[in-house]
Amino acid sequence: MTIVYLKRGKDQAERAEDDAKTRAVVEGTLKDIEVNGDAAVRNLSEKFDNYSPQSFKLSDQDVDDLMAQLSDRELADIKFAQEQVRNFAQAQRDTMLDLEVETLPGVILGHKNIPVQSVGCYVPGGKFPMVASAHMSVATASVAGVPRIVACTPPFKGKPNPAVIAAMHLGGAHEIYVMGGIQAIGAMALGTETIDPVHMLVGPGNAYVAEAKRQLFGRVGIDLFAGPTETMVIADETVDAEICATDLLGQAEHGYNSPCVMLTNSRKLAEETLTEIDRILKILPTADTASVSWEEYGEVIVCDTYEEMLAVADDIASEHVQVMTDRDDWFLENMTCYGALFLGPRTNVSNGDKVIGTNHTLPTKKAGRYTGGLWVGKFLKTHSYQKVLTDEAATMIGEYGSRLCLLEGFVGHAEQCNVRVRRYGGINVPYGEGAPFREAAE
């Protein structure tokens, strides 16, 4: 097995040091919000966003005024994208059925899918107004039937971004706040004097937002750890360097710490892609951001075989994986750890980010090893229930339960079963003893 790195990014020690600094900042900020509430939120907004409105919450009139600033074409494009997201989310929701089954005569077991009752949706927007993130969180929560959807987004260039606010409103947000970063996450999760806390936080964000969600997990639910964007291009010589370089840099422009990895079995393609990246960075308007990500987090890895490429890809577990090979479906069948796959050269990560309908809030930092991305099912809780309808079933299950409880030493548990055996079966089980075995109980 020969794996060659033509380019490496920051090593894990450096990345861990960055993470430690972020953790400390977030911990102190969340404590400030918990203690000082609205005052802390306002101070943080003034400090980081230079924004201090009379109210962070938008009124219906505020929303109408902002949406009026958009052209008919812009609104139509937002609605088209949102329709694709809703359609796919609804198709997914339709696969999630309530269940009720009689597992034994007189024994009914079931489950119900119940929406989370309040959700806080974070929509990034400080550097770029992430209109699509509103579809992915707010609209999907709406399809799930969440009765209270709170949406937060930072000001863009000192004021609310009309397109983001329109997407939030059209998506079904019940409350919209213009605030960003840790203060938005903390206010939604912890609550303040004017904001009721939510039960769950969702949405992507920068390293500070992702860390805030991590620290708050347990007090509230979260969708997943969706930190700085990651992308991987898996390619062979069926494609050229231009498309590979374009797909890598298209995600590198997200931020200064967006890992982008090329994985190939062609050294020629790898070297040509490195040259093409240098060319594109000279003309890309967002090169000031993309070049930093590429320099510090970009990697180019050359493998001998497709099997090696698969093994390396599953180990990295990247958020976005663009596959452009002579066997794209083979990767679909065999890859196990990733956020989302983009199969073939005709599609790309930006399709998923903005319009095609799959959700773009996806696991980062190897979280794809144990979870998929945000989807309608994340907003639903599957709760089980049971019913015993006959005396015979109550007696038979109770007899087994009695003996199994005592096997573990739980006398109080056993008596919960025994009292049913006595009442519904007419069997006099001595207190604290296991129910006798009966052939009829088989």
How does pLDDT run across 107-141, given as a tens digit for each residue?
Answer: 999 999 999 999 999 999 877 899 999 999 999 99
> What integer pLDDT is reported at residue 18 of this predicted model?
77
The span from the CA of 149 to the CA of 142, in Å, is 8
* Span(s) in the chain for CATH 3.40.50.1980: 26-223, 228-373
What residues have CB less than 8 Å from 332, skipping those under 6 apart? 323, 341, 343
Q: Is the pLDDT of residue 440 over 60?
A: no
Alpha helices in 123-240 (DSSP H): 131-134, 140-144, 162-171, 181-190, 207-216
The span from the CA of 312 to the CA of 169, in Å, is 42
Cβ–Cβ < 8 Å for 324, 346: no
Q: Is 267 helix (H, G, I), strand (E, B) or coil?
A: helix
Question: Is 408 marked as binding a ligand?
Answer: yes
Question: Is 383 marked as binding a ligand?
Answer: no
> What integer pLDDT is reported at residue 371 of this predicted model?
95
Question: Is 231 marked as binding a ligand?
Answer: no
What residues have CB less than 8 Å from 320, skipping those under 6 apart? 229, 230, 231, 232, 251, 339, 340, 342, 349, 352, 362
Instruction: Give the pLDDT mean for 341-369.
Output: 94
Structure tokens at 377: 């099912």
Question: Is 54 marked as binding a ligand?
Answer: no
> What integer pLDDT is reported at residue 205 of this predicted model?
87
Which of the residues are catalytic?
A: 319-320
Question: Is 113 marked as binding a ligand?
Answer: no
194-212 per-residue burial string, b: 16 or more CB within 10 A, e: under 16: ebebbbbbbbbbbbbbbbb
Band of residue 236 on the pLDDT scale cut at 50, 70, 90: very high
Architecture of 26-223 per CATH? 3-Layer(aba) Sandwich (3.40)
Structure tokens at 217: 């997990």
Structure tokens at 74: 């812009």
Q: Is the pLDDT of residue 69 over 90?
A: yes
Bridge partners (DSSP) of residue 201 are: 120, 222
Structure tokens at 358: 């799959």
Give the residue with greater pLDDT, 246 vs 438: 246
Question: Is 177 marked as binding a ligand?
Answer: no
φ and ψ at 235, to 5 degrees?
Answer: -145, 150
The span from the CA of 423 to the CA of 391, in Å, is 9
Position of tokens 């998506």? Answer: 171
The span from the CA of 112 to the CA of 410, in Å, is 30
Instruction: Give the pLDDT mean for 362-373.
Output: 94
Neighbours of 36 (CB within 10 A): 15
Question: Is 94 marked as binding a ligand?
Answer: no
Cβ–Cβ < 8 Å for 177, 151: yes
The span from the CA of 322 to the CA of 340, in Å, is 9
Question: Is 122 marked as binding a ligand?
Answer: yes
The span from the CA of 118 to the CA of 221, in Å, is 10
Instruction: Give the pLDDT mean for 3-28.
Output: 85
Structure tokens at 38: 């609205």
Cβ–Cβ < 8 Å for 422, 377: no
Question: Is 229 marked as binding a ligand?
Answer: yes
Q: Is the pLDDT of residue 12 over 80?
A: no
Question: Is 271 marked as binding a ligand?
Answer: no
Band of residue 270 on the pLDDT scale cut at 50, 70, 90: very high
> What integer pLDDT is reported at residue 233 of this predicted model?
98
Residue among 379, 352, 268, 368 nearest 313 (CA): 368
Structure tokens at 409: 């030493």
Give the mean pLDDT of the chain. 95
Alpha helices in 220-266 (DSSP H): 241-252
Q: How far is CA 98 from the centre of its chain?
A: 24
Q: Is the pLDDT of residue 13 over 70?
A: yes
> What integer pLDDT is reported at residue 1 of this predicted model?
58
Burial class (CB in 10 A: 0-12, 13-18, 19+), 287: middle
Position of tokens 């209270």? Answer: 148
- Give 28-50 pLDDT, tens digit per residue: 999 999 999 999 999 999 999 99
* pTM of the complete model: 0.91
Q: Look at domain 228-373 and name its CATH class.
A: alpha beta
> What integer pLDDT is reported at residue 165 of this predicted model?
98
The span from the CA of 202 to the CA of 347, in Å, is 26
- Give 50-64 pLDDT, tens digit per residue: 999 999 999 999 999
